[in-house]
Structures are given as C-alpha cells and as structure tokens.
C-alpha cells in the first residue's frame, strides 16, 4: 500500500503553471505558458539566449511576479509569496557563497537562520559533505581555497540544507571546464535520485539536458515549443527549430508533390519522405547518425552520391562531410569501429531510410 501511495504522489504535479505571462514594456518575455511539473522529477528547461528561460525560473522561485496567470504549489497559489517564504531553493550560476566563511559555515547558514542548535547544524553539514563526496576535513576549510567543482558541491550542499521541496538551478555548470562539467552532470543526477527532490534545471546545453533530465521543455520566443522525454525531444521533434536546437542535423530544402514524394530543390533528386508531409515547400531533416554509406541503391530508401571532403574524430564517433555537387553538404556520423576506410575525395553513395528522416513545412521554426 505504501508503495502505491508513493507512486500516486509522484504522479501528481507539485508545481503548476497556468497561462503564466511576464511582460516588459509590451514585450512578452514569457508568453502564456501552461505546464505541470511532477513530484520528484528532474525537469530541464532549455532554449537559446533570449528565449525566456531565466525569466521563467525567476518567477517560479519568487524573485519576480508574473504579469498574469497563476503559479500553484501543491494546488496553492503562490504568485505573491516571496522567495524566502517558499519551500524552494535556488542554485545560481554565480553560486553566491560567502567568501569570508568556511565550507561548514556556508552549508550551515540556512540552518542557523532557522535557529537549529550548533551541534545539529554541524552533524547535518557533515552528512551533506559526505553525500556530495567531500571529505570531513573540508568542514573547516575556507571556501576561497576550494576548486570550482568543490564550490559547486558546497553550493548544492547549502541548498539541500534548506530541505526544499523544489531545487531550482540556473546554469550552475556553465563556467566549468568540459571534463568537470561531465562529472558533475552525473553527480547531480545521482543526487536527484538519492534525495527524491524535484529538480528544475535551466541550461542552454543540449548535453546537460540529455544526460540528466526526466523531461525537457524546449523554449523559444517565450513559449514551450515541445515538452517530452530526452528520447522524444531528440528522436521525434515536432518542429524544425527543435530538431536543430537538439543537435546537428542535415536539412534539405524540398518540394513535396501530390504523390507524396519530394524533389530536392538544389539537386533535383527525388526522395521518399514520411507520410506526414503535406504538399508544398518543406524542410527534410536527417540526423548525421541516420545516414550511412551504401554499396548499392537497394540498401536504403533514399541514396545520394557525393565525395568525402573531410573527416572529424569525435572520440568514440567519427563524422564525415559529404559534398553533393557544388551547393550541398551532408554530415554522416559513424561509430569509430565502423570508420570509413576510403580516402578523402573518394566518391561514395550515402543513404537513409524514410523512417529515419523528419519533414516540416517551410516556416515551421517555432
């Protein structure tokens, strides 16, 4: 019974947005967004600069009020509840640690404000240090003597000391080097699972969103253009904008005829396209990993011929630039153990199956 009750609770939205809007001088930075964030999920908001994601999180955490619409926490309207009165906490990009205090004093700060006695504060700080994989002796270490990654962990420990119902993160890893960022992405996901807290994470990084999230909301021009699991967002984007934002893609300008086949506007080649395509000008989208080298036309639904212009090593993967005629360039990506053995400037045939492509009407950018 307890398991059933816990599952039912987790399925309920902890945070609900109802037609939220934030207007600055007649410009809608956030434009009538409605969304449910579930109890205990890791929800990531991604989007380009100016898409409205930071304005959104400032309203959710209580730093700004919406111009219109409602924000509900467990069904209660919290539009007018100030940030320090909400059971939420924010981890900023700047971290906002106290430089004149030790690691332990930084972590204990929210507990001190609540009047928790010193012994209990220290015990909780040591528990959080262990959870964040920092040694006990860091308790007395000056925060200014910590590395960038260690300061990230201290900031997260301080946030967890609040025991918030929701943790908000505003691009906390963006200033770190690549290797450390990858380590902390996995640690954040582990901590999310350990704590069972609801995480709402803001980033412009596709990789961060894909690695950590249960669901992703892609923002553009103040609205969510798609919300779904990482697999749904990457594998089944609903617009050309989402397909481009969530990774490298090949985009072919085509015209779909009444018979459902498409003509390449550049090369004149004919393609089989997904049945969802309507007649008229469209964008045919194929991810690099969906293209493959073929020895004969029967090995793929669609085949084009070009030359291998360049090769890019990407760790476990290899990407090839295929030039088709003078005006068209395709990217093809293979695993390293499937590396193309031919020479640069060799003529090759590459192909893809209809189901591995996506098609959107021209102008479907939002």
User: Mean pLDDT, to the nearest integer, of 199-203?
Assistant: 93
* Domain regions of the chain by residue span: 2-241, 248-361
**Domain 2-241's class?**
alpha beta
Among the listed residues 44, 61, 55, the one whose alpha carbon sits nearest the alpha carbon of residue 200: 44
pLDDT value for 2: 44
Of the CATH numbers 2.40.50.100, 1.10.287.3510, 3.90.400.10, 3.20.20.80, which one belongs to the domain with range 248-361?
Answer: 2.40.50.100
Among 46-55, 103-112, 169-178, name the one with the lowest average pLDDT.
169-178
pLDDT value for 277: 65
Tokens standing for residue 292? 């493959």
Q: Do domains 2-241 and 248-361 have the same CATH topology?
A: no
Strand order in the sheet with 357-361: 270-272, 261-264, 250-256, 280-286, 357-361
Confidence class of residue 107 from pLDDT cuts 50, 70 and 90?
A: very high
Taking only the tens place, the pLDDT of each residue in 119-145 is 999 999 999 999 888 999 999 999 999
CA distance 147 to 363: 46
Strand order in the sheet with 223-228: 88-91, 166-170, 198-203, 42-46, 215-220, 223-228
CA distance 239 to 233: 10
> Given the structure tokens 């906390």, which residue do they identify?
172
């Amino acid at each position: 019974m307890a398991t059933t009750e816990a599952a039912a609770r987790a399925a309920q939205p902890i945070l609900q947005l109802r037609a939220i809007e934030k207007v600055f001088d007649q410009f809608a930075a956030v434009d009538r967004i409605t969304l449910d964030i579930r109890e205990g999920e890791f929800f990531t908001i991604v989007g380009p600069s100016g898409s409205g994601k930071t304005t959104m999180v400032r309203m959710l955490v209580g730093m700004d009020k919406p111009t219109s619409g409602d924000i509900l926490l467990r069904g209660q309207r919290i539009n007018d509840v100030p940030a320090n009165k909400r059971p939420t906490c924010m981890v900023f990009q700047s971290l906002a640690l106290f430089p004149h205090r030790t690691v332990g004093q930084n972590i204990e700060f929210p507990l001190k404000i609540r009047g928790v006695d010193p012994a209990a504060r220290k015990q909780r700080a040591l528990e959080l240090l262990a959870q964040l994989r920092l040694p006990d002796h860091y308790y007395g270490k000056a925060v200014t003597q910590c590395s960038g990654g260690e300061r990230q962990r201290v900031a997260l420990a301080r946030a967890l000391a609040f025991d918030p119902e929701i943790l908000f993160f505003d691009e906390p890893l963006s200033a770190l080097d690549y290797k450390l960022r990858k380590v902390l992405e996995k640690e954040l996901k582990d901590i999310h699972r350990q704590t069972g807290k609801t995480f709402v994470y803001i980033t412009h990084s596709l990789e961060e969103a894909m690695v950590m999230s249960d669901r992703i909301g892609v923002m553009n021009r103040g609205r969510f253009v798609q919300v779904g699991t990482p697999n749904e967002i990457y594998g089944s984007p609903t617009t050309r904008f989402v397909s481009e934002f969530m990774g490298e893609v090949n985009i072919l300008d085509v015209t779909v005829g009444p018979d459902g086949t498409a003509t390449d506007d550049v090369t004149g080649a004919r393609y089989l396209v997904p049945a969802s395509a309507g007649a008229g000008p469209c964008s045919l989208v194929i991810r690099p990993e969906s293209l493959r080298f073929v020895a004969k036309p029967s090995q793929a639904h669609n085949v084009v011929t070009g030359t291998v212009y360049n090769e890019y090593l990407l760790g476990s993967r290899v990407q090839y630039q295929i030039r088709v005629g003078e005006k068209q360039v395709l990217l093809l990506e293979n695993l390293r153990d499937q590396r193309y053995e031919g020479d640069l400037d060799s003529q090759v045939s590459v192909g893809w199956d209809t189901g591995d492509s996506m098609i959107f009407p021209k102008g479907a950018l939002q």
